Amino acid sequence: MMGIQLSVRTVLVALYALSIPAAQAQSTGAPARGFAWADRLTWGIEGAAGPRAGAAPDAGRWLDAQLRDGAGTLPPDAQRQLDAMRIVREPMTQLVVEEDAAIRAANALTDPDQRKTARDAYQKDMSALADEARARSILRALYAPDQLREQMTWFWFNHFNVHAPKRDIRAMVGDYEDTLHARALGKFRDLLEATLRHPAMLRYLDNDQNSAGHINENYAREIMELHTMGVGSGYSQQDVQELARILTGVGVDLKPDAPKLKPQWQPLYVRAGLFEFNPARHDFGDKHFLGHDIKGRGFAEVEQALDLIASSPATAHHVSLQIATYFMGDAPPADVVARMEQAFRRSDGDIARVLRAMIGAPAFKASLGTVFKDPAHYAISAVRYAYGDRVILNTQPVIGWLNRMGEGLYNHETPDGYDMRSDAWSGPGQMATRFDIARQIGGGSAGLFRPPGASADQPAFPQLQNAVYFGGLGATLGEPTRGALAKATSPQEWNTLFLSSPEFMHR
C-alpha cells in the first residue's frame, strides 16, 4: 500500500509541476460547458446524477429556479438526520437560556469535583450544539437542491463572520446560520439588519457591552470596514465613533421579563427573542453620521444609519467585489464588478439580481474552471461526486477534513472571515493534506457511512469512473491528467488520482 501511495504522489507532483489549470479542457462542447457551469454554481458535480445545472438548453431555467426565494427539499435520509437535532427541535432562545442556567448551576456548586463534572457536561453540550450546526450545514451543501442558496449561505457567514467558541455563541450559531440561509438571496439591507439583531453577532463583536458612557466601537468598526462600505471608501473614524453611539443599547437579554424603565423610555424598548434595545443604555445625544444629522430617538437611529450604509455606493462596490471574488477568483474583472454594482443600486440591494448580473457577464463564462477551490469547496465537491446519490450518515470526517485544511466551520477567530484568495490555500502543506483526503475518499468510504456506535462502514469505495465521467466529464481533463489516470493500477488509485488532479482542484 505504501508503494501505491508513493507512486500516486509522484504522478501528482508531476501534474502540478506542469501547472495544468482546469480551464484547459479538451472539449468545448455543451457537456463541457455544462460541467463547468455546475461546478461553479453548485457545491460540485454529483457523480451519479450528473450536472443537473449544466445541460445548456436548461441552464437558464435552472438559474431562474435557483434564484427564486423558495426552500429546497432535502432527501429523506438527510432530513431525518436534521429532524433529530436539538438545534432543530428546540428554539435558539430556549437553548441559550437552558445552557446559561446549566453553567450558572455548575458554578454555584461548592464541591470541586461536582463543579468540574457539571462544567464539563456544559462544555460537552455546547460543543454538541455547534457540531449539530456543522453537520446540518454540510448535509445541506451536499444534498440541498437549491445549491446557489447554499453557496451564498457559506459566503454570507464568512462575510458576517462570528467565532463559535466565544462566550455562548455555540448555542446560537445554528440559528445564526439559519438567519443567513433564509435571507441569502434577498435584499442586502434586510440581511444586514438581521445580523445586527442576532445575539451571536452582538456577543461576538461585544455590542451587548456598548452603552452610553461606556462606548465599545468593535461592532461599529466592523460594520463599516468589513460588512458594508469597506476600507478606504471615504468614511472617517468619527463616523465609526458616531455609529458606535447610535448602537448603544443594542444588546442581548436572557431574562424573561423586560427591565424596569422610566415611563418615557418604555415605548422605546424593543425585544425580540434574545435581542434587546434598552433605551436606558442608549446615548440619546444627536449624531452626525456619513454627512447626515441623526436626532437622538432610540432604535429609529439604528434604522436610519443602516439605510444610509446600505444605500451607499461604496457598499454596492464592496459587496459586489466580495461576491465576484468568491465566485470568479482573485481580482475579478472591473467591468463585471461595475455591472454588479449597477444591479445592486438599481434593485435596492437585491442579491439575486446582483448574482444574475455577474453570471450573465461574458467574463464569468470565460472564468469557468479557473478558480482554485478553497478547502470547503474541495471537500464538499469530492463527497458530492463520490456520493451524490447516497446520503452519508456521518459528517464528522468532513468536519475533520475542513479543520485539517484550515477552514473549519465557525472556527475563524477574527471578523474578516477566511481568505478567499487562491494563494491562501495552494501551498505544499495544503496539497499534501488534500492528497490524503483524496486517498481516504477514493480508497474507501472514509467513515462517512459509519453512524455513531457502528463498526461497519459501507460501501467499500466509490465508483468514480461512472456514467458522468464517460458521458463527458473525462473529456474536460487535460492530456497529462488522462495519461496519469491511464497508469493507475487499481480503481482506488484511479480515484485518488482523479480527486487530486489539477482539474478537480478548480471550479
Contact call for residues 19 and 505 (beta carbons, < 8 A) = no
Residue entry with cell 424593543? 270
Per-residue pLDDT tens for 324-334? 999 999 999 99
Contact call for residues 280 and 259 (beta carbons, < 8 A) = yes
Whether 20 has a pLDDT exceeding 50, the answer reads: no
Cell of 423: 494563494
Q: Which helix (H) or strand (E) holds 434?
A: helix 428-443
Contact call for residues 173 and 205 (beta carbons, < 8 A) = no
String of DSSP letters for 288-342: EETTEEE---SHHHHHHHHHHHHT-HHHHHHHHHHHHHHHH-SS--HHHHHHHHH
Task: Report d(CA 507, CA 496) in Å as an integer.
Answer: 18
3-class DSSP string for 199-237: HHHHHHCCHHHCECCECCCHHHHHHHHHHCCCCCCCCCH
Q: Which helix (H) or strand (E) holds 470?
A: helix 467-470
User: Counting Cβ atoms within 10 Å, is residue 4 exposed (0-12), middle (13-18) or buried (19+)?
Assistant: middle
Per-residue pLDDT tens for 59-110? 788 889 899 866 678 999 999 999 999 999 999 999 999 999 999 999 999 9
Q: Helices 112-143 and 396-404 meet at what angle, rounded to 10?
A: 90
Q: Which residues pair with 292 in a beta bridge?
A: 289
Q: How many CB atoms within 10 Å of residue 203?
A: 23
Per-residue pLDDT tens for 157-204? 999 999 999 999 999 999 999 999 999 999 999 999 999 999 999 999
359: left (phi over 0), alpha (psi -120 to 50) or beta: alpha
Q: Specify the pLDDT at position 29.
A: 53
Q: Specify the pLDDT at position 458.
A: 75
Q: Which residues pair with 147 in a beta bridge?
A: none
Closest CA to 504 of 420, 428, 422, 438: 438
Task: Report d(CA 442, CA 451) in Å as an integer.
Answer: 20
Sign of CA dihedral 69, 74, 80, 81: negative
Supply the pTM of this predicted model: 0.93
Count the residues in the chain.
507
Contact call for residues 506 and 21 (beta carbons, < 8 A) = yes
Cell of 88: 432543530
Q: Which residues pair with 294 in a beta bridge?
A: 287
Contact call for residues 96 and 199 (beta carbons, < 8 A) = yes
Q: Specify the pLDDT at position 49.
A: 56
DSSP 8-state assignment for residue 250: E
Contact call for residues 182 and 223 (beta carbons, < 8 A) = no
Contact call for residues 189 and 147 (beta carbons, < 8 A) = no
Q: Name the E strands within 263-326.
A: 270-272, 275-277, 287-289, 292-294
Per-residue pLDDT tens for 175-184? 999 999 999 9
Per-residue pLDDT tens for 345-397? 999 999 999 999 999 999 999 999 999 999 999 999 999 999 988 999 999 99
String of DSSP letters for 355-405: HHHHHTSHHHHHHTT-SBPPHHHHHHHHHHHHHTTS--S--HHHHHHHHHT
Alpha helices for 18-146 (secondary structure H)? 30-41, 59-67, 76-83, 86-89, 92-108, 112-143
Contact call for residues 146 and 66 (beta carbons, < 8 A) = yes
Whether 450 has a pLDDT exceeding 80, the answer reads: yes
Buried residues in 259-278 as b, exposed as e (16+ CB within 10 A): eeeeeebeebbeeebbbbbb
Task: Report d(CA 157, CA 181) in Å as an integer.
Answer: 9
276 SS3 class = strand
Per-residue pLDDT tens for 246-274? 999 999 999 999 999 999 999 999 999 99
Please state, in angstroms and as integers, the Cα–Cα distance from residue 310 to each residue in 182, 230, 234, 318, following that order: 19, 12, 14, 11
